[in-house]
A and B are shown apart, each in its own frame.
Chain A
Amino acid sequence: MPIKTSPIIVNIGPHHPSTHGVFRMRVMFDGENIIDLEPVFGYLHRGTEKLAEERTYAQIITLTDRLDYLASMSNNLAYVVSVEKLLGVKAPERAMYIRVIMAELMRIASHLIGLGSFLNDLGALATPWMYMFREREKILDLCEMVCGARITYSYMRVGGVSMDLPPEFMGALRQFCDDFPHRIDEYEKLLRENEILISRTKGVAVLSAETAKNNSLSGPVLRASGVNWDLRKSDPYEIYDRLDFEVPIGQTGDTYDRFLVRLEELRQSLKIINQCVKDMPIGETRLKLPALIRPPKGDAYGHVEAPKGELGFYIVSDGTIAPYRLKIRAPSFINLTALREMTVGYKLADLIVVFGSIDVNMGEVDR
């Protein structure tokens, strides 16, 4: 007699150790296999876009800190780049170098957490996580030196940065840059050839280049699928066109590739920082702009390559001190579009790992 079975629906999240915040997935299981999946958002929705309509252009910088709170300065950068595009101004040379250094430091910090929590999801307890945090801590110390904050920096300003680097910063940064390559080597040695990691991730949730593009994915997830698309190369902003670095591209688009792409990006970011430190000019760090910026009527879309993908701000100005409409193109949010397609048919354990490999931040997903 055949045993009668029925699928069960499990709510994974919003309170679950592996949902990286307050994400919820309604998953239908047949045994351990996933039949269907529906992501549920909104547990961290703060209405950033509506709040921005009530704030002046300078005040909105503090709101952007709260999007991807693991890489706040990248959000600052994306916003100020968009406003500068709207105004038609460009920050001074030195400010742009500082911004690029900070953005790349943020990319390292974010990828360290991304990799650490990905391995945590794989079940490697907290060991890789703590190793990654050891380095992230140094980056946070650097940021604290620059602006006094460790999470919500609000360091960038429209037309520059809030203040010049403190004198002790460059020495500390150089020390970090000398030390960090050995740490990356250590990570690679410990993780890259790990038999269990490979058997868990290789060939799991393969995302073809066509699907990735069609789903508007961006960042490491898109590049792991073999699409050579990095805004720093294809649409250079700030001073990226002067810098020499490579964009790591995956071959198959499986979970292992997404992991490797992030690991390699650490190296490339470090390369960028080293060049910036070498070429850093002396001069002004901020344009003289009025305290209340009144951009001309019109709209502008500015974007940067944030750690999680393309972070864009579409700003509509009506000529007043506050934007008429501010829309955030959040990479984490849009990267989740493909989650269902990637995970259906796999097992519960794979779902957690695949979700970890997309590396989302709920502050950015829900805004």
Chain B
Amino acid sequence: MSPTGPNPNWFERWVLDFIPSTANALKDLLGHGPDWLAYILFALIGGFIVVNLPALLTPLFIWIERKVLARVQHRVGPNRVGPFGLLQGVADAVKLMTKEDLVPDSADKLVFNLAPLMAAIPVFLVFPVIPYSARATLADLNLGLLYIISITSVTEVAIFAAGWSSNNKYALFGAMRAVAMLISYEIPLALSLMGVVLIAGTMQLSVIVDTQRYMPMILLQPIGFIVFVTAVSAELNRTPFDLLEAESELTTGYHVEYSGMKWGVFMLAEYAAAFAYSLLIATLFFSGWKGPLLPGFVWLAIKVFFIWCVFIWIRGTFPRLRVDQVMAFSWKFLVPLSLMNVLVTAVEVNIQANQGWEFFPMWFAPINLVIAVVLIVIMSKLFKFEGQTRQVLPSRMGTIIPVTQAAERAASKAK
């Protein structure tokens, strides 16, 4: 861990003091107990805070989306409950909790009840590894990025389990699309981060933030940023990739049979994931909590807010793609683009290593920007959404739905 600079601000000082002093206080409180007990207790408290704070902030996140989306759509948005409708999330939560919890008769009950939890738990496991300020990380894993990528993929299993166990055809469609789409987008999601990892030389998030102290990573990794944001909107099931929910086609797809708080947990997981990914984008590409004057967590909050606004903006303006187009976009556009990004970054990192420079040179930024523009223009010229073709010949039409012989019955009755 590098030091936080010569002049830590009040928050950083507080954090630096807080951790050891709390641990000591706990140790005092326990009297003659062993050291490890105090640390376990401390970890439990920290874990409680890090998991519950995002869960409590998620309604705020939803409120921001509803308000901003409303402005995009010439609406007012929630404004009845609390000042500016801020307490709308609380009202929604109360409503969902008091609602009757329905389980379809033909559903696979065990899987059906487990699926919301399976969707929510991995998302909340992301928050402990994110650096919120200097040293304000619950678990600063040295493989933090790998951990996040692998833990978030579990959500796909949950979505498939929810869709499959509901025993509903719409949910099944949603589940099938989830399997096809989410796994396709895992690959560009992971590949696009390889550039960041190569430059930083580590997967430890606090160190990645530290490498960005002179320049945010977005300037060095424009392609990585674009691919990552695209893949994240697919992972979050947001337009133009909201195939699994597809309100207008599947009437919300995999969670169509869920009601009450189980549905609420799905929504909570979805928006908590949006929160987590926004934090991750801020951390990886916008130098995380670093920024002048204000405390780290304020900077992080500002960055997350703007990233979230971009997501809302995308959601408010794009129509949805078709299944095959979404797949083609991942495999034919995003994956080659991110592979090329890895190649370019690897060459640059190699130059850096051969020259023995301590930091990744800043003048790579304009070069990377030019490479990004050229590559994206070439790729978009090469990539074309294929026109839709009929999969079944019209001659097979009408072979399946049986014709009722109402007319013949009427005829026989007349005789």
| Residues of A near any B CB (own CB < 8 A) | 7-8, 10, 16-18, 26, 28, 30-36, 38, 119-127, 130-131, 134, 194-197, 199-200, 202-204, 340-341, 344-350, 352
Choice from B320, B325, B385, B391 contacting A122 with Cβ under 8 Å = B320
Tell me if B411 counts as interface (CB < 8 A to partner A).
no
Residues of B within 8 A of A194 (CB): 319
Q: Which residues of B contact A350 (CB under 8 A)?
A: 322, 388
**B102 proximal to A (CB < 8 A):** no
Please tell me if B169 contacts chain A, counting CB pairs below 8 Å: yes
Q: Is there contact, CB below 8 Å, between B322 and A349? A: yes
Contact A123–B320 (Cβ < 8 Å): yes
A8, A34, A134, A352: the one contacting B248 at CB < 8 Å is: A352
Closest chain-A Cβ to B14's Cβ sits at a distance in Å of 42
Q: 1/0 per position for B177-220, CB-CB distance to A under 8 A?
A: 00000000000000000000000000000000000000000000
- Chain B 334-360: CB-based contact to A (< 8 A → 1; otherwise 0): 000000000000000000000000000
Q: Are A341 and B394 in contact (CB under 8 A)?
A: yes
Report B269 CB to chain A, min CB distance, Å. 21
Hey, which chain A residues are within 8 Å of B399, CB to CB?
A: 36
B170 with A38: CB separation less than 8 A: no
Are B173 and A348 touching (Cβ within 8 A)?
yes
A349 touches B249 (CB 8 A): yes
**B393-411: which have CB < 8 Å to A?**
393-394, 396-401
Assembled-state Cα–Cα distance A123/B390 (Å) = 22
Q: Is the CB of B400 within 8 A of A35?
A: yes
Stretch from B16-24, B54-62, B70-78, B134-142 that touches the partner:
B70-78
| Beta-carbon contact of B248 and A347 below 8 Å | no
| Contact, CB under 8 Å: A30 / B392 | yes
Known: A7-B400, A127-B72. 12 other contacts (CB 8 A): A26-B401, A36-B397, A36-B401, A120-B248, A123-B318, A123-B321, A127-B316, A130-B74, A200-B322, A345-B390, A349-B246, A352-B248
Chain B 265-284: CB-based contact to A (< 8 A → 1; otherwise 0): 00000000000000000000
B240 at the interface (CB under 8 A from A): yes
* Interface SS of chain A: mixed
Q: Name A130's contact: one of B73, B319, B397 (CB within 8 Å).
A: B73
| Neighbour of B251 across the interface among A17, A31, A124, A196, CB < 8 A | A17
Count contacts on B: residues with CB < 8 A to the other chain.
Answer: 43
Report chain A residues within 8 Å CB of B401: 26, 28, 36, 38
Chain A residues whose CB sits within 8 angstroms of the CB of B303 once the complex forms = none
Across the interface, do A345 and B323 meet the contact criterion of CB distance under 8 Å? no
Is B247 positioned at the interface, with any CB of A under 8 Å from its CB?
A: yes
Interface pair A35/B396, CB less than 8 Å apart: yes
Chain A positions within 8 Å of B169 at CB level: 8, 10
The 5 closest A-B pairs by CB, nearest first: A123-B320, A345-B390, A199-B385, A122-B319, A124-B319
Is the beta-carbon distance between A344 and B397 smaller than 8 angstroms? yes
| In contact, B387 and A202 (Cβ under 8 angstroms) | yes
Q: How many A-B residue pairs have CB under 8 A?
A: 122
A122-B319, A127-B73 known; A344 and B247 CB under 8 Å? no
Contact, CB under 8 Å: B323 / A347: yes
Bound complex: CA A16 to CA B1 (Å)? 55
Is the CB of B239 closer than 8 A to any CB of chain A? yes
Answer whether residue B317 sits at the interface, using C-beta atoms and an 8 A cutoff: yes
For the complex, is B315 an interface residue (Cβ under 8 Å from A)? Answer: yes
On whether the beta carbons of A123 and B239 are closer than 8 Å, the reply is yes
B156 close to chain A: CB less than 8 A: no
Within 8 A of A (CB), among B293-342: 315-325
B242 at the binding interface (Cβ < 8 Å): yes
For the complex, give the distance between the alpha carbons of A36 and B400 in Å: 7
B319, B396, B398: the one contacting A200 at CB < 8 Å is B319
B388 touches A204 (CB 8 A): yes
Please report the C-alpha to C-alpha distance between residue A130 and residue B317 in the assembled complex, in whole angstroms. Answer: 12
Complex: A11 Cα to B13 Cα, angstroms:
62
Which residue of chain A is the closest to B250 with respect to CB atoms?
A348
Which one of A7, A31, A125 contacts B239 once the chains associate, using CB atoms below 8 Å? A125
Which residues of chain B are near A32, meaning CB under 8 Å? 173, 323
Q: How far is the CB of B389 from chain A (nearest CB, A)?
A: 8
Residues of A within 8 A of B322 (CB): 200, 347, 349-350
CA distance A210 to B52 in the complex (A): 64
B324 to chain A: which residues have CB within 8 Å? 347
Return chain A residues, CB-CB under 8 Å to B75: 130
Report the minimal beta-carbon distance from A290 to chain B, rounded to whole angstroms.
Answer: 43
Contacting residues, chain A, for B250 (C-beta < 8 A): 348
Expressed in whole angstroms, the Cα–Cα distance for A126 and B169 within the complex equals 25
Known: A17-B251, A18-B248. A196 touches B318 (CB 8 A): yes
* A-side contacts of B72, CB under 8 Å: 127
